[in-house]
Each structure stands twice: as C-alpha cells, then as structure tokens.
Amino acid sequence: MFSAGFSILMLAFLFSLSRGEQPYEGFVRWLDGPWAVAVSVVILAGVLYHTATWFRLTTHIVEVRLGRRVVPRAAIGGALVAAWIVVSAVVAYFHVWFWR
C-alpha cells in the first residue's frame, strides 16, 4: 500500500525529469515543501513497518542448513538487517554522491 505510494511519487519525479529542466525544477521545489515531507513521513513509516514484518516473515519461512545444523532464526534476521543497511548505503551513495 505505502510502497505503491512511493512508486507514484517516483513516477512523478521521473515524469518531471523527462519533461525537461523547468518542470523538473518545479517538482523539486514541491519536494522542498511541507506536503512532500508529510507524505514521505507517512510512506516511510508504513514501509519501515513492512520491512520489519517482511523480514520477520522471511525468518519464519526460510530454513538455511549448513551441513546438519540449521541456522537459527536470529542469525537469518541479523543477516537480513545487515544486508538492508549495506544496500541502503549503496543506494544512498549512488543517489546522492556518485558523479558529483
């Protein structure tokens, strides 16, 4: 539900980008305003809740075996959270600092 809201936000951003510099600057000005932040806070809260429940669900579904031993759920959850942090850092790097 909230991630679909993000998809629409991203589509609007890219649509303004495809229309040229002036429409893009207009959309970026809207992004700077209070409405964009309010919408984003709601989406972020919803999506973070989804991340938590989705990872929890994954640890209950996936069973990883190393030889005869079953990897404990906490370890899978930890690996997922670690992957989430690494992926977020990589995305942030490309989105903000790459090619500056």
Partner 1 sequence: MTSEGERPAGPGGQVSLGEVLETSDRLEILPRGRGRLRLRLPSPEPFAWALFSAGGFVAALLVPVHVAILGIAFAAGWLPDDAFSYQRIHRLANNPLAKLYLLALIALPLFHWAHRFRFAIHHQFGIGLKRLVAVGCYGSALAGTAVAVWILVRI
Q: Which residues bind partner 1 (CB under 8 A)?
A: 1, 3-4, 6-11, 13-15, 17-18, 21, 24-25, 28, 31-33, 36-37, 39-41, 43-44, 47-48, 50-51, 54-55, 83-84, 87-88, 91-92, 94-100
Residue 12 Cβ, how far from partner 1 at the closest point, in Å? 10
Contact indicator for 79, 85 with CB cutoff of 8 Å: no
Where are the alpha helices (H) located in 19-93, listed in sequence order?
A: 21-31, 34-61, 73-92
Q: Cα(6)–Cα(62) distance, rounded to whole angstroms?
A: 28
Which conformational region is residue 99 in: left (phi greater than 0), alpha (psi within -120 to 50 degrees), or beta?
left
Tell me whether residue 37 or residue 64 sits nearer to partner 1 (CB atom). 37
Tell me whether residue 68 or residue 93 sits nearer to partner 1 (CB atom). 93
Tell me whether residue 68 or residue 89 sits nearer to partner 1 (CB atom). 89
